[in-house]
Structure 1
Amino acid sequence: MTVVSELHQDHVNLRKLLEILDKKILKLKEGSQPNISLMADVINYIATYAEGYHHPREDKLFAYFHGKNDQLDAVMKECEDAHVNLKGYAHALLETIDGVLHDAVVPMDDFIAKLETFVSNEKAHLDFEEAKVFSLMNETATNADWKKVEKQLPVEADPLFGEKRTEEYKSLYAELMRDINS
């Protein structure tokens, strides 16, 4: 599996979580009260995994390819800027959810709008990376490039979707499965 295919699999997994959040948004709009704590866990996982593993891998990949293609440099820069913005959206949303969980008065329309913005921005970013960054990278890279990159970017197991879930995420995974099947 190549580095890009590993990052693509991350995107597939993240999209599954974003689809769960989309379903929660619909339930909120219908007036039901979905599991807000579970939503917080999902958003926290997305932010934590992106900041701690996924984006740093991309950053190293971008550093390797920097200067090889002007068009690729431009889309990688746009992607790096988006990473900063996405981090801000995630943390702001987590603060809002924390307030909701601690009985702060948060207008439901505002809460839903923040959730929709978060999900929409995340999906748009995944689409951008798939369509622009990864495709240009694949056009630019040689086999020698991929061999060097793969040595520099060892594979780490995904703590939620990987074969060996960490203790921290075992309960989230079980809760997600129960929630999806209910």
Structure 2
Amino acid sequence: MRPLAIHAGTRVIHEEHDRLWAVLQAMRHFVRATADGAKAPACKVFRAMLLYIVDYPEKLHHPKEEQLFTLLQQRTGIVDEEIAQLSAQHVAGEAMVRELEHQLTRYELDREAGFAPFARAVEEYCAFSQAHMRLEEDVVLPAADRFLTAQDWIDVGGWFAANWDPLAGTAYKDGFDRLFSLIANITPAPIGLGSPA
């Protein structure tokens, strides 16, 4: 169970983690079901999930974290090592997503030979992302709740509201929300909102 977020900024990051994790669980569900003999979904299902995974962290999520972490480092050095690890993981995660995309393309071209490497890439990325989010939620975000000042939280709230959603007010933002809804609706319950498998 994750520590309770005290401030709105850390709650937003928790909510974004939940949303990203839902997409990752959906992708992993379809991969595992296919491995167990279920009919594989159309590749556009995996493509939709991958589009979300590619765009979500880089355009919306990681900039919020990095700004919050920079501010936290100005207030305390207690989590400097963990922040350095998380920043390195942001870079490593980009490489893992490129590998995931590569393996999905191989799978699209040759379903039989390409499935196992794609499934392995999905499992590895899910495990990596889960550990990454756990480190943020268990160590760094509680430190932010503890050490940032009241004025810091006013500033963070302003950044979150005004500057940190590059998709806000654009057609892309609407498409991004629709993409998440599509993924949630095609993924069977209890992971998603679709009919149970």
Class of the TM-score when normalised by the shorter of the 2 chains: 0.7 to 0.9
Match status 1:23 vs 2:29: yes
Partner of 2:187: 179
Instruction: Return the alpha-carbon distance in structure 1 between the equivalents of residues 22 and 183 of structure 2.
Output: 14
TM-score normalised by L of structure 1: 0.84
CA deviation digits over 1:16-46, x for unaligned, max 9? Answer: 1122122112212213313332122212212
Indicate which of 52, 65, 69 corresponds to 2:76.
69
Who is 1:85 aligned against? Answer: 92
Letter paired with 2:18: V
Residues 30 and 93 (structure 1), Cα distance of their counterparts in 2 relative to 1, 3 Å cut: same
Match runs of 1:37-76 below 5 Å: 37-76=44-83
Q: Unpaired runs of 5+ in structure 2?
A: 1-6, 189-193
State the Cα deviation string for residues 31-86 of structure 1 (Å, max 9, x = none). Answer: 33133321222122122110111001111112222232122222111111110111
Equivalent residue for 1:127?
134
Contact 2:103 2:117 in 1 (8 A): no
Unaligned ranges ≥5, structure 1: none
Look up the match of 1:170. 178
Please give the secondary structure, in 2, of the residue aligned with 1:70. coil
The residue type equivalent to 2:185 in the other structure is M
**Percent identity among equivalent residues?**
19
SS at match of 2:75: coil
Letter in 2 for 1:6: V
Moved more, 4-13 or 62-71: 62-71
Q: 1:26 to 1:167 in 2, by over 3 A?
A: same
Confirm whether residue 153 of structure 1 aligns to residue 188 of structure 2: no
Amino acid corresponding to residue 67 of structure 1 in structure 2: Q
CA RMSD of aligned residues (A): 2.5
SS in structure 1 opposite 2:79?
helix
C-alpha distance in 2 between matches for 1:168 and 1:139 = 33
**Residue 191 (structure 2) aligns with:** none
Q: Secondary structure at the match of 2:119?
A: helix
